[in-house]
Amino acid sequence: MKIYIDGKYYAKANAKISVFDHGLLYGDGVFEGIRAYHGRVFKLREHVERLFCSAKAILLDIPMTREEITRAVLDTCRRNRIRDGYVRLVVTRGVGTLGLDPKRCERPSIIIIAGTIQLYPEELYKKGMPLVTVATTRNISNALNPAIKSLNYLNNILAKIEASNAGCQEGIMMNSEGFVAECTGDNIFIVKGKQLLTPPLSAGALYGITRGVVMDLARLQGLEVGEPNLTRYDLYNADECFITGTAAEVVPIISIDARVIGTGKPGSATRKLIAAYHALTKTEGEAI
């Protein structure tokens, strides 16, 4: 494996950053998780744009243009002979002092890792999986805005621990007002009649790339897409439920907090969206 760090490629064993990098010391940085399918990097430009938006929000000046980062991602995939895989694109604040001040950091660092990922067992995509709601509240917008895909993921990790302790691989996070925000690493959707509903971004949901793709696909399939505030009651009484994410793709949900969703099996709308998503990944993307 060849890993890109600040314009150079290193073998996995030699790919290192300084212990004084503020990405390590304080979680000061941003990242993107990106998928490659069939020799193409899916929605690469959208991911790069979101990276720059996250960086702007934390006043982090990325020392490369969007076009340069796009080329670097594609080149990293080529060097690692990736046709179907996962890319982690990271920008840290860079090497600084032991103090918080980001102005003391010399220069941001850019890291690109191209490999593979499998979040959930294949069986769950066919049979569906259970979810639980967790006690850890999603970060509020005027503290650490969930729209920023930052290296500080402790809020999500604490929620993930709770879900794991409850015997589930994913957990639902509520916001401070008691509305559904998102899962620990995925966006959440429900189907009710001919409607596809998902929490609004203002509720604490990430600006999910896969989220947006699925919403577009749903409209093409004749579903009415909405973004209302949702409660656990809405989830429990949904006809279908699924989660989305770049790494997760689209995963059917069959129960929430021990309440069976719909028939207890992946629903027809969910199955159609999964098929449409997979079909799209075969034709769209930047050629490696």
* Phi, psi torsion values for 54, nearest 5 degrees: -65, -45
**Do the Cβ atoms of 50 and 70 come closer than 8 Å?**
no
In which region does residue 118 sit, left (phi positive, over 0), alpha (psi from -120 to 50) or beta (all else)? beta
Active-site annotation holds for 103:
no
Burial class (CB in 10 A: 0-12, 13-18, 19+), 67: exposed
> How wide is the angle at C-alpha 159 spanned by C-alphas 227 and 91, nearest 5°?
80
**Do the Cβ atoms of 284 and 40 come closer than 8 Å?**
yes
How far does Cα 225 stand from its chain's mean position?
20
Active-site hit among 16, 56, 126, 149: 149
CA–CA distances in Å: residue 28 to residues 102, 108, 150:
8, 10, 7
Active site residues: 149
